[in-house]
Amino acid sequence: MDPAQTITVPHLGSSAIGYALGGPYDASLPTLVLVNSFTTSVELYRPQLAGEELIRTANLLAIEPYGHGATRAGYADYTYWDSAAAALQVLDALGIDRAFVLGTSQGGWIAVRMALLAPDVVRGVIPLGTSMDFESPRSRDLGCWDGIAFLSPAIDALAEPVGEDWVIPVELVDAVLAEGFGEDVDPEERAFWHATHQRNYTGDAGRRRLRTSSINLRDRDGLHARLDAVRCPVLWLHGTDDRVYSVANAEDEIGRFTNSPQAELRVVDGGQHFLSATHPEVVNAAVVEFLRRSS
């Protein structure tokens, strides 16, 4: 697939937001927004954007958060709430008044933030391999990663300006891929993501985007106290082999959507953190079922 195109929205002093469509827009179908994980881009959802049954079921719209892919903010700093607000403005700019939102890892909590900000717009959320907590001791006690230890060295290393020939180190890309795909990353997939990351994170502007994205992940606010305000259906898919956030955490947090008309957790045997990429058939089939049931 081609890299994202951009659309201008007013948030943060006017921003260019990277997005990709699965095909021509069909007003008779529901829309499914896809929000990617840390340092990835719309290309994370190649298996969904090429999924024939999914394309027949919904308009697919992948949107890149601030700090990722082709998205550029008008202001110098931003948070996950800003990414949620900007994604809603993309829907408005495209004339889409209601949508479902699927998100992987950070995309999952952006999806929930979208539902909290615009409950009349978001018809359902599909979190994949995510957490609704901050990087808390509770989270680590339930078997989740230590995001503070993972991210702090990179945040420190990215603190100083660099020249315009700088590109993201492949060691950092490989660390992200190991968390997302597991240790056994297909060589072609690894090469693809090396090239994609080094296209998206170059020069001092790329360093700043990468550092801000890392800070946002490490220092984000949790959503536990807000989850009872989510009033749409929730389908949470989580892999047993997810190295970042545990099934035990997902089992606890799905029960916190106390006012959702349906909040379901499905555990995918052998699934990795980047579940939509490692188990696309399972994810696509579950999403099609959810959309047909909830539309």
Structure tokens at 24: 């021509």
Residue 263 carries which DSSP code? E
Structure tokens at 194: 């090396």
Does any domain span residue 47? Answer: yes
Structure tokens at 200: 């998206």
Nearest to 132 by CA among 285, 265, 33, 39: 265
Structure tokens at 50: 């090429």
Cβ atoms within 10 A of the Cβ of 13, count? 9
Is 136 in contact with 188 (CB distance < 8 Å)? no
Helix (H) or strand (E) holding 59: strand 59-63
In DSSP terms, 99 is beta-bridged to 122
Task: Provide the number of structural domains found in the chain.
Answer: 1
What's the CA gap between 56 and 33, in Å, rounded?
A: 15
Does any domain span residue 197? Answer: no
Does any domain span residue 275? Answer: yes
Does any domain span residue 251? Answer: yes
Residue 126 Cα distances to 32, 54, 233, 258, 269, angstroms: 10, 14, 9, 16, 18
Does any domain span residue 139? Answer: no
Tens-digit pLDDT profile for the chain (295 aa)? 777 899 999 999 999 999 999 999 999 999 999 999 999 999 999 999 999 999 999 999 999 999 999 999 999 999 999 999 999 999 999 999 999 999 999 999 999 999 999 999 999 999 999 999 999 999 999 999 999 999 999 999 999 999 999 999 999 999 999 999 999 999 999 999 999 999 999 999 999 999 999 999 999 999 999 999 999 999 999 999 999 999 999 999 999 999 999 999 999 999 999 999 999 999 999 999 999 999 9
Residue 76 carries which DSSP code? S
Range of the domain at 275: 5-133+221-294
What's the CA gap between 88 and 123, in Å, rounded?
A: 13
Cα atoms in the 13 Å half-sphere on the side-chain side of 166? 17
CATH number at residue 24: 3.40.50.1820
Structure tokens at 27: 């007003």
Output phi, psi for 148, to 5 deg.
Answer: -65, -45
Does any domain span residue 210? Answer: no
Does any domain span residue 153? Answer: no
What's the CA gap between 58 and 180, in Å, rounded?
A: 26
Does any domain span residue 227? Answer: yes
